[in-house]
Protein backbone atom coordinates (compact mmCIF):
# COMPACT_ATOMS: atom_id res chain seq x y z
CA UNK A 1 0.00 0.00 0.00
CA UNK A 2 2.06 2.94 -1.30
CA UNK A 3 -0.48 5.71 -0.57
CA UNK A 4 0.11 8.70 -2.87
CA UNK A 5 3.05 8.51 -5.27
CA UNK A 6 4.46 11.29 -7.45
CA UNK A 7 6.92 11.32 -10.32
CA UNK A 8 9.42 12.73 -10.92
CA UNK A 9 10.96 13.72 -7.55
CA UNK A 10 13.11 16.44 -9.10
CA UNK A 11 12.98 18.29 -12.42
CA UNK A 12 14.81 21.19 -14.01
CA UNK A 13 13.23 22.90 -17.00
CA UNK A 14 14.14 25.80 -19.21
CA UNK A 15 11.66 28.64 -19.68
CA UNK A 16 9.08 27.66 -22.29
CA UNK A 17 9.50 23.93 -21.96
CA UNK A 18 6.52 21.75 -21.11
CA UNK A 19 6.18 18.82 -18.76
CA UNK A 20 3.62 16.69 -16.93
CA UNK A 21 3.78 15.81 -13.26
CA UNK A 22 2.25 12.45 -12.47
CA UNK A 23 0.31 11.44 -9.36
CA UNK A 24 -1.31 8.15 -8.41
CA UNK A 25 -3.08 6.90 -5.29
CA UNK A 26 -3.95 3.35 -4.30
CA UNK A 27 -6.42 4.15 -1.51
CA UNK A 28 -9.51 4.19 -3.77
CA UNK A 29 -10.11 7.84 -2.89
CA UNK A 30 -12.58 9.88 -4.91
CA UNK A 31 -10.95 13.29 -4.57
CA UNK A 32 -7.49 14.36 -5.66
CA UNK A 33 -5.64 17.70 -5.42
CA UNK A 34 -2.60 19.53 -6.70
CA UNK A 35 -0.83 22.11 -4.52
CA UNK A 36 2.26 24.21 -4.82
CA UNK A 37 4.40 25.14 -1.84
CA UNK A 38 6.57 28.24 -1.80
CA UNK A 39 8.69 29.45 1.13
CA UNK A 40 6.63 31.14 3.82
CA UNK A 41 3.36 30.65 1.95
CA UNK A 42 2.15 27.26 3.02
CA UNK A 43 0.23 25.20 0.48
CA UNK A 44 -1.84 26.78 -2.27
CA UNK A 45 -4.38 24.79 -4.24
CA UNK A 46 -3.83 24.73 -8.01
CA UNK A 47 -6.57 22.35 -9.19
CA UNK A 48 -8.66 19.63 -7.69
CA UNK A 49 -10.86 16.78 -8.81
CA UNK A 50 -13.79 15.94 -6.56
CA UNK A 51 -14.44 12.71 -8.43
CA UNK A 52 -13.39 10.87 -11.55
CA UNK A 53 -14.33 12.92 -14.61
CA UNK A 54 -14.48 16.30 -12.87
CA UNK A 55 -11.85 18.98 -12.33
CA UNK A 56 -12.05 22.48 -10.85
CA UNK A 57 -9.72 25.43 -10.46
CA UNK A 58 -8.20 26.22 -7.13
CA UNK A 59 -6.52 29.37 -5.89
CA UNK A 60 -3.64 29.56 -8.41
CA UNK A 61 -4.61 27.74 -11.65
CA UNK A 62 -3.01 30.05 -14.22
CA UNK A 63 -0.32 28.36 -16.30
CA UNK A 64 -1.45 24.84 -15.42
CA UNK A 65 -3.79 22.17 -16.76
CA UNK A 66 -4.90 18.91 -15.20
CA UNK A 67 -6.26 15.56 -16.29
CA UNK A 68 -8.08 13.07 -14.10
CA UNK A 69 -7.10 10.04 -16.14
CA UNK A 70 -9.03 7.55 -14.00
CA UNK A 71 -9.87 7.17 -10.32
CA UNK A 72 -6.23 6.49 -9.44
CA UNK A 73 -4.36 9.07 -11.46
CA UNK A 74 -4.35 12.88 -11.59
CA UNK A 75 -1.73 14.65 -13.67
CA UNK A 76 -0.61 18.30 -13.72
CA UNK A 77 0.73 19.83 -16.92
CA UNK A 78 2.82 22.93 -17.44
CA UNK A 79 2.46 23.88 -21.10
CA UNK A 80 5.09 26.63 -21.15
CA UNK A 81 7.10 26.73 -17.95
CA UNK A 82 8.03 30.09 -16.39
CA UNK A 83 10.53 30.86 -13.60
CA UNK A 84 7.57 31.84 -11.37
CA UNK A 85 6.53 28.19 -11.45
CA UNK A 86 9.65 27.12 -9.61
CA UNK A 87 8.18 25.45 -6.56
CA UNK A 88 7.54 22.19 -4.78
CA UNK A 89 4.39 20.49 -6.06
CA UNK A 90 2.32 18.16 -3.91
CA UNK A 91 -0.47 15.84 -4.90
CA UNK A 92 -3.03 14.74 -2.31
CA UNK A 93 -6.10 12.55 -2.15
CA UNK A 94 -9.09 12.25 0.18
CA UNK A 95 -12.05 10.01 0.75
CA UNK A 96 -14.79 12.00 -0.91
CA UNK A 97 -14.97 14.67 1.79
CA UNK A 98 -12.61 17.63 1.91
CA UNK A 99 -11.43 16.82 5.35
CA UNK A 100 -8.48 14.53 5.68
CA UNK A 101 -6.08 14.70 2.78
CA UNK A 102 -3.11 12.39 2.31
CA UNK A 103 -0.09 13.85 0.57
CA UNK A 104 2.54 12.49 -1.76
CA UNK A 105 6.29 13.14 -1.28
CA UNK A 106 6.37 16.08 -3.69
CA UNK A 107 8.09 17.09 -6.94
CA UNK A 108 10.77 19.76 -6.72
CA UNK A 109 10.65 21.80 -9.92
CA UNK A 110 13.12 24.45 -10.99
CA UNK A 111 12.50 26.57 -14.07
CA UNK A 112 15.55 28.42 -15.37
Partner 1 sequence: GQQLNQSPQSMFIQEGEDVSMNCTSSSIFNTWLWYKQEPGEGPVLLIALYKAGELTSNGRLTAQFGITRKDSFLNISASIPSDVGIYFCAGSRDRTTDSWGKLQFGAGTQVVVTP
Which neighbouring-strand residues pair with 45?
A: 35
Choice from 2, 41, 53, 62 touching partner 1 (CB under 8 A) = 41
Q: How many CA atoms lie within 13 A of 100 on its CB side?
A: 3
Residues 44-103 that bind partner 1 (CB under 8 A): 44-45, 48, 50, 56, 58-59, 90, 92, 98-103
Question: Which residues does 49 contact at the CB level (< 8 Å), separation at least 6?
Answer: 31, 32, 33, 55, 56, 66, 68, 74
The residue (of 72 and 103) whose beta carbon lies closer to partner 1 is 103
Q: How far apart are CA 34 and CA 62, in angstroms?
A: 13
- State which residue, 40 or 53, has the beta carbon closest to partner 1: 40
Which C-beta is closer to partner 1: that of 56 or that of 79? 56
Q: Which residues are near partner 1 by CB under 8 A?
A: 4, 31, 40-45, 48, 50, 56, 58-59, 90, 92, 98-106
Amino acid sequence: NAGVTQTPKFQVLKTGQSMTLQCAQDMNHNSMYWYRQDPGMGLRLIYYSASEGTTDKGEVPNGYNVSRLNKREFSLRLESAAPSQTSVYFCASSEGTPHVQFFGPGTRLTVL
